[in-house]
Chain A
Amino acid sequence: MTQADRYRYLFRVWASRGLLGAAGLTASASNALAVPISGVQSTVMNRATVAERLNLIRSAVTEASRAAKAMPVPDETEIAQWMNWGNWGNFWNKPWYNFGNWGNF
């Protein structure tokens, strides 16, 4: 099983439970993620591959979103929400009083 397959599978699980959207993502991450058995290791040495790893995840999210009835391909409104929410913490669930990369309130 490739890493891409693993991600597709993980996000299909999340999508099937309605957790793969802006409103449910927080719950999905905090409730569904496995607790590392002995702690995760710093990946600072693996930094050269960060962009590839991020791309892999976004592709898997897109595929999972298409595949799951609960999460059709995002429409323009939803994409716009992602755009904002992605840099805005928990804006759509409950205001964080915070602003993107600016975290002083």
Chain B
Amino acid sequence: MDHQIDLVVMQSTPFCNIACKYCYLPDRSSTQKMSLTTLRNVFSRVFESGWVRDRFTVVWHAGEPMTLGPAYYDAAFSLIESLRPRDIAIQHSFQTNGTLINQEWCDFIRRTGLKIGVSIDGPQPIHDKFRVLRDGKGSFQRTMQGINLLRQNGIDFSVIAVLTKCSLLAPDQLYDFFAGHNIERLSFNVEEIEGVNRTSSITPDDAYDLYWNFLNYFWERLLAERKRISQREFEEAFACIVRPDASSMLNSQTTPFRMLNVDVRGNFSTFSPEFLGQSDPRYGNFCFGNLNNVTLESALSNPIYLKLNEDIQRGVDKCRAECQYFSVCGGGAPVNKLNENGSLATSETLFCRLTKMVPIDLALALLENDVNLRADDQRENADAPGMMRAPDPAQLAGSEA
């Protein structure tokens, strides 16, 4: 098989300076940091493998990357740059809680072109309910200070908001918050049962309806107000649905080595990055060796990799056979199958229902609503705000080849 890495998830440190109540990371009190020797070995192996082509992204994650300070990444980026073949481009990216952003970080971000995603869950009462500092106090003010500093420095950023039950019940508050703060790129991650987070504020019984109502409200206001918010779930859903027959889906969590995941010690894995730090009697620690000692290619004969891949592909086959959404998904998220269903060789999860089925169902409903409205020539308010009247078909015929 011809492998191609698109994303390298690097755990420069497992440490996080805050203590979100829904966090899935098991070692977030550990202050280890990846040595530059390990870093050199990791990227030497990556480039030697021939599994990276043209460009790929490195996301520094699975801990709060900013706890290490800009000097660490100055050295790390320089080292990687010294190893990088000239015909391959790298985009570095942080997902951060934003609480440590200062002017030194802003200078670093501007100098290096680092892409920034900030995690903020909405207005202060909602954000502070789960995203707390280690002393238990809310982190909202410090995150907003970081966001304001990014803005003052003209630094573009995206936002991920984790949706808990209290935020799903307050779509108006979240919309007003994100629109009011002119957040231009917004993603939603629904709270998951994953890793050390063994419970969720969202129960399977109410999850679908809660999220449906939330997204429905949010998207309708987006459509009605024409806000310049790129909302990831909206865009992904339409991108998945409105595409030609000849296209097919790539699921990066079920395709071996589309994502390369490396922990702080240099241990490596693939498929769902959340496997890092977890263990299971069937798959050990989900790692295929340490890149200080072995090559990437050695994974292909590693028993853990072979077993993991076999079971994940069995799960994909099950999805293909059973799931109405397979053409817009490609086989689900392995880590959620294991954590929710207890087996990789399974199909539907709550995570599927929320992250795929709800957005796809809603986008389908919006499209069907649209085509049905257009078909009704007698509709009185066809030119009302939000409607774009279709041109005369005769005009379109003139544009055909």
Contact = CB atoms under 8 A, between A and B. Distances in A.
Contacts of A1: 375
Interface stretch (B45-53, B139-147, B278-286, B354-362): B354-362
A103 B189 contact: yes
Interface in B359-394: 360-375, 385-388, 390-391, 393
B61 A105 contact: yes
B401 A34 contact: no
Given A6-B375, A42-B209, 11 more contacts: A9-B393, A34-B374, A41-B365, A58-B327, A59-B245, A62-B244, A86-B239, A96-B230, A97-B158, A100-B251, A100-B252
A43 B399 contact: no
Interface stretch (B127-135, B216-224, B299-307): B216-224
B117 A16 contact: no
Contacts of B265: none
Interface stretch (B72-80, B98-106, B173-181, B328-336): B328-336
A12 to B, nearest CB: 5
A54 to B, nearest CB: 6
Interface in A46-89: 47-51, 53-55, 57-59, 61-62, 65, 67-70, 72, 74, 79, 82-89
Interface of B: 6-7, 57, 59, 61, 91, 93-95, 115-117, 158, 160, 185, 187, 189, 208-209, 212, 216, 220, 222-224, 226, 230, 232, 234-236, 238-253, 258-259, 272-274, 324-330, 332-333, 355-357, 360-375, 385-388, 390-391, 393, 395-396, 399-401
14 contacts: A6-B374, A12-B396, A13-B391, A32-B370, A35-B220, A39-B220, A55-B327, A68-B399, A84-B250, A86-B250, A90-B232, A97-B117, A99-B6, A100-B258
A88 B120 CA distance: 21
A97 B223 contact: no
A61 B247 CA distance: 11
A79 B247 CA distance: 6
Contacts of B91: 95
A34 B242 contact: no
Given A32-B388, A42-B209, A102 B61 contact: no
Given A25-B242, A44-B208, A51 B374 contact: no
Interface residues of A, number: 71
Residue of B95, B332, B364 with most partner-chain A CB within 10 A: B364
6 nearest CB pairs, A to B: A35-B386, A105-B95, A100-B252, A6-B371, A50-B324, A82-B247
A79 B209 contact: no
A41 to B, nearest CB: 7
A25 B239 contact: yes
Nearest to B382: A34
B249 A86 contact: yes
Given A10-B374, A40-B216, A61-B242, A35 B252 contact: no
Contacts of B223: 30, 33-35
Contacts of B236: 87-89
A7 B249 contact: no
B387 A54 contact: no
Given A31-B226, A50-B364, A86 B240 contact: yes
Contacts of B357: 44, 47
